[in-house]
Amino acid sequence: MASSERGFTLIELMIVVAIIAIIAAIAIPNLLSARLNANESAAIATLKNIQSAQAQCQSSGVIDANSNGLGEYGFFGELSGAVPVRGSATLTLDPPTLSTAFGNINAQSCVARSGYLFCMFLPDTALTGSVEAASLGGGPGTPPVDSTWAETLWCCYAWPIVYGNSGRRTFFTYQSGDTLMTSGSAVAYSGTSPVPAFNAAYRVSGSALMSLPVAANTIGQDGNRWLVVQ
């Protein structure tokens, strides 16, 4: 008695494989694009939270290393309550103005969140950017922060951990509350190299100080065009 069972022919299998390959070719780029967009949106939202955290910290006056009665802006370690604030060996920000996750400072003095690295800069005495000390889990690094300038100046960058994989655009915010972005036409920041210098988004000028205007809708010190995020 002849069997009625019938398997797939080689041609049929090849057709199925071809269909799966076509679907994957369409779906995978869309999934990658969706992930990039989600990470970039999360980075923008995080920078807005950082803006709010800095404003709360400065207005509270908890950080007042020069004891002049005027509050100062803080590093991630201070804003998250992970380390004592500048000018005190024991006083921490309580309640913290940022999530405790921002107390996890890596070896590059950055915090990793949703495919992006975040780095905070505060002014030193030369008005260049000072980063926090990773070895201390956050807080003052080297060179030291200038307490008077830290009452009015700070800036923060966010860039992809892996360019093209976790994000494409680099973002910047500072004491004005604006958020800027660059697509990296001159320098595309990625992970630990290259990374933005403190003055990357500041206007091209004869000097490079944190007191200079930022490069809103024009070219920055790094050669990239920085645009305001709407």
User: Which long-range contacts (C-beta less than 8 Å, at least 24 apart) are formed by 90-93?
Assistant: 91/62, 93/57, 93/60, 93/62, 93/63
Phi/psi at 123 (5° precision): -75, 140
83 DSSP assignment: S
Whether the CA torsion 160, 166, 169, 175 is positive or negative: it is: negative
pLDDT over 90, % of the chain? 73
Higher-scoring residue by pLDDT: 1, 17: 17
The pLDDT value recorded for residue 9 is: 79
**Residues 197-216 pLDDT 10s:** 999 999 987 677 899 999 99
Residue 181 has pLDDT above 80, yes or no: yes
**CA–CA distance, 14 with 18 (Å, rounded to integer):** 6
The pLDDT value recorded for residue 2 is: 54
Domain ranges of the chain: 10-228
Phi/psi at 88 (5° precision): -140, 145
**CA–CA distance, 15 with 151 (Å, rounded to integer):** 67
Q: How confident is the model at residue 11 (pLDDT cuts 50, 70, 90)?
A: confident
Rg (CA), the chain: 23
Reading the block at residue 62, the tokens are 């908890």
**CA–CA distance, 228 with 230 (Å, rounded to integer):** 6
The pLDDT value recorded for residue 29 is: 66
Region of residue 109 (left: phi > 0; alpha: psi -120 to 50; beta: else): left
Residue 25 has pLDDT above 80, yes or no: no
Residue for token digits 């050669």? 223
**CA–CA distance, 138 with 160 (Å, rounded to integer):** 21
**Residues 123-177 pLDDT 10s:** 999 999 999 988 777 777 777 899 999 999 999 999 999 999 999 999 999 999 9
**CA–CA distance, 157 with 197 (Å, rounded to integer):** 9
Distances (CA, A) of 179 to 56, 83, 191, 193: 18, 27, 20, 23
The size of the chain, in residues, is 230
